Structure 1
Amino acid sequence: MACSVPGLDLPGPLRLAKHITDWCRRNLFSSPFNTLLTMLVAAFLAWTLPALFRWAVWDATIAGTTRAACGGDGACWAFIEVRLPLFFVGRYPSSERWRVLLALFTLAAFCIPVLREGHVHRRGLWFVLLFTACPAIVAVLLLGGVLGLRFVDTSLWGGLMIDVVVSFVTVAGAIPLGIVLALGRRSQLSVIRGLSIAYIELWRGVPLLTVLFMSAVIVPLLLPSGVSADRLLRAMVAMTLFNSAYMAEVVRGGLQGVPSGQEEAAGSLGLRWSQAQALVVLPQALRVALPGIVNTVVDLFKDVTLITIIGLSDLLGVVNQALKDPAWLGMAREGYAFAALVFFVACFLMSSYSRRLERRLNRGHAS
């Protein structure tokens, strides 16, 4: 006797409509409270979206080279078009901007084998190269001074480029250091455990702004006479030390989610402690800690905007500088809307990939 699945015998359009109706019933109208909440959100969107559409699209000015080209009550996206190179690379010399594009392609080339789903030959090797060879190549391209490349001081860097560079370097340093601190906090040796706890609690108890101010103002006073450190380098080191403390707590939560029997089983197979941690415990712990790690990375990417306080011009800092141009006064809404959109897209892509990675890693595991 053949079994029929409800809905499969319907024509294509009706089957799609039924699927949409079932989804709405489950997610939007599953209870009286959810129904009320859905209606309130729908009313709010109906009130705000038409006005936003008129300002951002219908009445907006797309092209133009001066403020005079913008008229009416719509957005003046010509301001973004004229300032777009500044928003992405700051005051990086225009004749050398090809190096920024090449550095971006280099980063993507190293990331793809690591982030691509499915089997990748020697993924572990690519992972190591991503955090060793890739930063070295990108640093040579952006800084120059060797191989015939013109030297470009970091004071000329700015825009989204600084956000990406600082975030990548901070994550590359904070994750390994956080893992070491998490293992140190669980150590049986009281000295190592005490030092790890002191480090974590110290950095977690200090505001990030204070850490950045210390890196910009206090650190130069502590250096020997005649020795100086680049301001961007000091900021990256400060953010790495700060975020490693938070990363350590995230990883420690993952380690606590691994049954103790896993380490005992690894020991019974003759694995040393370091081998058991690297091959058995940490892979499971990082899978459990993945949502927290991604959340920390997303927060870090947004916190990079704080470096404007110490004189470094990230995307938000460059937008603020552009708004002070007398030729483009009154463009605050357009500038901040553009910055918000860029940050939203970047954070959304990171979160989306994280969810896909979670599903792939949890495949075959009990939820």
Structure 2
Amino acid sequence: MNTKNLAYVRPEMIAPAPAPLSTRSASGWIRINLLATPKDAALTILAVALLVWLLPGMINWLFVQAAWFGTDRSFCTTAVQGGIKPNGWSGACWAFVGDRFQQFMFGRYPLDERWRPVLVAILFIALLVPILMPKLPRKGLNALLLFVGLPIVAFFLLHGGAFGLQKVETPLWGGLMVTLILSFVGIAVSLPVGILLALGRRSTMPVIRVICVTFIEVIRGVPLITVLFMANVMLPLFLPTGWTIDNFLRALVGVAIFASAYMAEVVRGGLQAIPKGQFEGADSLGLSYWQKIRLIIMPQALKLVIPGIVNTFIGLFKDTSLVSIIGMFDLLGIVQLNFTDTTWISPVTPITGLIFAGFIFWLFCFGMSRYSAFMERHLDTNLKR
């Protein structure tokens, strides 16, 4: 037997390797995510140094020297600690936000009737939370109540004029209430209309395709301000003589049209990512066009473009602030309107109000982003070995 051919045989067992470093502990997470390489360590040290330099001053201005309570600007002239500052003003004037909080939420909606938008908000949350939870049953009924029943109930509650409710004209609406209504209607309308436009753009029927392409390209080629102006000025021209349309409804139509065009392109991207074999497989099963789209194609396409859809929703939520140009005051508009109030006018009032409005916008946008990430993980069908 030739022992030269056995030279590769290991005469002893391999020594046990050390256990992999744990990433579940705080130190393990820091080691893996922040200090993995010299470059990562340098960037981490730089970021920490920047935070140490910025955070103390920000915390001091936002919280420590802030004026939390008061009825006018005089309460914001002294700091909580250290006496009067050289410029005579304290840090953030949260007393201004507290005093005007209800106006920021409801605009000029009558005080005695504000239980109505509060009730609508409670109904909205009660219907929205179950539809966001994947494991709960009866999603069809829930969606019908949320997207059909709630708008009807909300209209009679908010506008009034029926069932013994005082009529509240839409020019009195404002604040976060207007922002949420515009966003909800824009989201609820843009997704189904965007799907139809995307399908129409891929249609083999030339007339349908030309109409959809023209609509999408024209709307995407102009800013939202232009669309709102057109909805505000031109929409009444299409109505019969003597008819009129509410300014708020014009804003709703403009926002929904604008969002639908962008949503159509997001959905079309998902449709183009579906392999041709999926279409052919659906055809081989004898499914009709709409059965194929509803059961096979669209579920896959929408799953692929969840980030794009949510990104469009977030952009729409922030763009609602542009309705102030047509006389509607959303959250940002009503905050800016109060900057000229002589009771609260001061150097720290505008920045405080803008920080508050920015935080509210961030809170909603961050919530949508986190739910999008949750749905991506929930719908992920890739098997990870």
Q: Tell me, yes or no, whether TM beats 0.5.
A: yes
Shift of 1:281: 0.7
Structure 2 partner of 1:311: 327
Q: Does 1:42 align with 2:64?
A: no
Q: Which runs of 5+ in 1 are unaligned?
A: 9-14
Q: 2:288 aligns with which of 263, 268, 272?
A: 272
Give the CA deviation at 1:6: 3.8
Q: How does 1:13-28 map to 2 (within 5 A)?
A: 19-28=25-34
Greater CA deviation, 32-41 or 84-93?
A: 32-41
Asked if 1:126 is matched to 2:128, the reply is no
User: Residue 375 of structure 2: which of 348, 351, 357 is its match?
Assistant: 357
1:116 has 2:133 as partner: yes
**Alignment-derived partner of residue 212 in structure 2:** 196
Residues 291-314 of structure 1 deviation map (CA, whole Å, 9 limit, x = unaligned): 100000000000000111111000
Aligned residue runs from structure 1 range 1-367, under 5 A: 6=19, 19-70=25-76, 71-72=78-79, 73-118=90-135, 120-221=136-237, 223-330=239-346, 331-364=349-382
> Offset at 1:48?
1.1
Aligned residues: 357
Letter in 2 for 1:335: G
Higher helix share: 1
Flag the structure with larger Rg: 2
Q: In the aligned structure 1, how far is the partner of 2:126 from the partner of 2:286? A: 39
Give 3-state SS (helix, strand or coil) of 1:148's partner: coil
Runs of 4+ in 1 over 6 A off after TM superposition: none
What root-mean-square deviation, in Å, do the aligned CA atoms of Structure 1 and Structure 2 show?
2.1
Q: Cα gap change, 1:191/1:221 in structure 2, threshold over 3 Å: closer, same or farther?
A: closer
Cα shift readout 1:178-205 (whole Å, capped 9, x = no counterpart): 0001111111112211211111111000
Does the CA contact (< 8 Å) of 1:106 and 1:138 recur in 2?
no
Superposed displacement of residue 363, structure 1 = 4.2
> One-letter code of the match for 1:239?
V
Q: Which letter does structure 2 place at the counterpart of 1:48?
A: L
Q: Hey, what does 1:12 align to over in structure 2?
A: none
Q: Which amino acid aligns with 2:264?
A: A
Map of 1:11 onto structure 2: none
> Displacement of 1:164 after TM fit?
0.2
Deviation of 1:111 (Å): 1.0
Distance apart, 1:224 and its partner CA: 4.1
Distance 1:268 1:221 in 2: 49
TM-score, length-scaled by structure 2: 0.88
Which residue of structure 1 aligns with residue 3 of structure 2?
none
What TM-score, normalized to structure 1?
Answer: 0.92
